[in-house]
Amino acid sequence: MNPAVLTVRNLSVQTASGPGQRPAADHVSFELRQGEVLALVGESGCGKTKTAEAIMGLLSPDRWKVTADEIRLEGTELTRLTPREAGRIRGSEISMVFQEPLTALDPVFTCGYQLCSVFRRHRGMGRRESRESSLAMFGRVGFSDPERTFNSYPHQLSGGMRQRVMIAMAMACRPAVLIADEPTTALDVTTQAQVLAQLVELGRAYGTAILLITHDLGVVAQYANRALVMSGGKIVENARVDELFDRPRHPATVTLLSHAAGAVN
Amino acid sequence: MGSDLRLWGQLRADKAGMAGLLVVAAYFLLAVGVWAGMLGQDWSSAGGDRWASPGAEAWFGTNLLGQDIFQRSIYSVRTAFEIGLVVSVLSTLLGAILGAVAGWYGKTWVDGSVLWLAGVLDSIPFYLFVAAVAFALQGKPWAMHVAMVATFWTGTGRLVRAEVMKIKSREFILSARAIGLPDLVILARHVLPNTGHILLIQASIVFVAAIKTEVILSFLGLGVQDGVSWGLMLAESTQEVLAGHFNNFIAASAMLFVLLMGFNQLSDALQDAFDPREAAL
């Protein structure tokens, strides 16, 4: 078995204002191993996204209270980093693809500019160098005309293309871990398959472990090695994907499976 | 840039807006002419007869000192643009920075201080404030500019603050964080550029307000100290109108009226072009 690149132990997320409320994530623990695709599944509102944002350190401390015994990324303890150190790691060692690519890209800048800013920030590249790297990266995620994508504004691209731009930005520095938060939910079915295949292929090529957040068990069956099932903020099942489908142990898993079957029929 | 083209197309289709743009451009050329020393240089020489009628010698006639009213009203275009530009650029800049900082650190003491400052400045009657500043900075030709910049930024500041609070919760800010950009860089590169439409519209509104205010202040003797402006011409004309000489009064009023009408049409058109709800119709 491959070594773990991301270890999360007892991660809890609560609203800062109401400590009496049910936590968004409740003592979540898991390991993400090198090169694997780990699915995090669950109905909407079960705490998947908040878990991801807590790992990335994106939750604003005046609204969320995040506690964890350990969030370890390849030997670096993320919970103990200063904001400055965290900024150096985010986007280079661990990165994230968001659900809605139109709102996740800045409307007033070209896609090329936004990808360049990743290379400038983490690789210390200049204008020319970052431009060349960006064009290569756009080619890598399947754009037939990288030059044109480079000069396009987000609103000029289709949903699938925008998500590819997001993937290019997230994968630009060949991170150890990529968190993909429902990356294809906003896309239509055919585009979904293409974008996901691209993402998984790129992860394999770069040796990036992927935490794939989804509520779509079809996606899990096709792309993931293992799956975590989340319900009410807790991880209720952690299994290999074939086991999960053959012998679901938790009622939440059974419900998810029956819904997936219902959608097919 | 695609959206620029769309905006330009929208503006082009707006007839009143285009007329406004032409008027403003014509005035701007006059101002440039004065700056370059080609126009209106003869505004202060008191050579001719007093209260001469319009003619080949002096196109709009002369005032009570025998000065050429046409030359004076042209030179005043420069005065108006100087004040409009300086005040609108500086107050928009100040409003953008303070508003952005307040919005970014919303609901903290930083935000509270900026809002408090804006509230205090807004609560002082404007002409009283200008009089106080003019008194404090006696003899300084830029006392009026200081007073206007100090009070005109508050509107822009409030609008930018609200917009920044809105932008702050947008997902692309989260994704800028996710690629590891530091806060200040996000504020400067991803938040402020997204307030550009507000800044442009506010700058055009403040430009008009500054020109109007300059005329009023100069009329009251609190404004332009050296040089000439439409406000000073109107102040002179108070002595002339009673004697039945209207040239000075009409020239200054008409020049001011046409410029302000033009600019208002232009800024209305800009506002329409930038409003996403209008664009969606």
To test the contact with chain B by mutation, choose from A105, A106, A134, A162 the residue with the greatest count of B C-beta atoms within 10 A, namely: A106
B176 CB neighbours in chain A (<8 A) are 106
Q: Which residues of B touch A170 (CB under 8 A)?
A: 178-179
Q: Which of A85, A108, A181 to mutate to test the interface with B (most CBs of B within 10 A)?
A: A108
Paired strand residues for A72: A7, A77
Q: Using CB atoms, which residue from A56, A100, A118 is nearest to B171? A: A100
Of A108-112, A216-220, A245-249, B61-65, least confident by mean pLDDT is B61-65
Does pLDDT of B57 surpass 50?
yes
Strand-pair category, A4-15 with A70-73: antiparallel
- Give yes or no for residue B41 having a pLDDT over 80: no
Looking at residue B2, its pLDDT comes to 47
Give the mean model confidence (pLDDT) for residues A219-247: 90
**Using the beta-carbon criterion (under 8 Å), do B174 and A92 form an inter-chain contact?**
no
Q: Closest approach of chain A CAs to the CA of B221, in angstroms?
A: 45
Mean pLDDT for B85-111 is 93
pLDDT tens sequence across A29-57? 999 999 899 999 988 888 899 999 999 99
The tokens describing B195, both together, are 């307030």
**For testing contact with chain A, the best of B109, B179, B186, B187 (most A CBs within 10 A):** B179
Residue B248 confidence (pLDDT): 79
Give chain A positions within 8 Å (CB) of B178. 56, 58, 90-91, 95-96, 98, 170
Of B103 and A186, more confident:
B103
Residues of chain A with pLDDT > 90, as a percent, come to 52
Nearest by CB: A58 against B1, B174, B182: B174
Greater model confidence, B14 or A145: A145
A95:B182 CB<8 A: no
Mean pLDDT, residues B1-17:
72
CB B157 within 8 Å of CB B165: no
Q: What is the mean predicted confidence (pLDDT) over A233-249? A: 88
More confident residue, A20 or A71: A71
Q: Does residue A178 or residue A215 have the better pLDDT?
A: A178
In chain B, whose CA is at the least distance from the CA of A82? Answer: B182
Distance from CA of A106 to the nearest CA of B (A): 6
Q: What is the mean pLDDT of residues A109-123?
A: 93
Residue type, A108: V
Structural domains of chain A in order of their starting residue, each with its CATH number: 4-264 (3.40.50.300)
Q: B72 or A86: whose pLDDT is higher?
A: A86
Query: Domains in chain B, ordered, with CATH?
Result: 2-43+60-280 (1.10.3720.10)
Number of A/B CB contacts below 8 angstroms equals 74
Q: What local confidence, expressed as pLDDT, does residue B79 receive? A: 86
Q: How far is B125 from chain A (nearest CA, A)?
A: 38
* Band (A186; pLDDT cuts 50, 70, 90): confident
State the pLDDT at residue A19.
64
Residue A131's pLDDT band, with cuts at 50, 70 and 90, is: very high
Q: Which residues of B touch A106 (CB under 8 A)?
A: 172, 176, 190, 193-194
| pLDDT of A22 over the 70 cut | yes
What is the pLDDT, as a whole number, of residue B150?
92
Q: What is the mean pLDDT of residues B115-139?
A: 87
ipTM, two decimals: 0.81
When mean pLDDT is compared across A232-241, B16-25, B126-135, B257-266, the lowest value belongs to B126-135
Instruction: Work out the pLDDT band at B281, boundaries 50, 70, 90.
Output: very low
Between these two residues, A112 and B221, which has the higher pLDDT value?
A: A112
Question: Is A106 close to B179, i.e. CB distance below 8 A?
Answer: no
* Nearest C-alpha neighbor of B231 from the set B244, B243, B218, B213: B218
Q: Is the pLDDT of residue A83 over 80?
A: yes
Q: Which two tokens stand for residue A78?
A: 């993320």
pLDDT at A213 over 70: yes
Cβ separation A104–B171 shorter than 8 A:
yes
Q: What is the mean pLDDT of residues B153-174?
A: 92
Residue A45 CA to its chain's centroid (Å):
17
- A106 vs A117, B75, B254, CA distance in Å? 12, 45, 45
Surface of A (103-122) touching B: CB under 8 A: 103-109, 117-118, 121-122
Judge: B2–A109 Cβ closer than 8 Å, yes or no: no
pLDDT for B136 equals 87
What does the H/E/C string look like for A56-101?
A: HCCCCCCCEEEECCEEEECCEEHHHCCHHHHHHHECCCEEEECCCH
User: What does the alpha-carbon distance between residue B262 and residue B256 come to, in Å, rounded to a whole number?
Assistant: 10
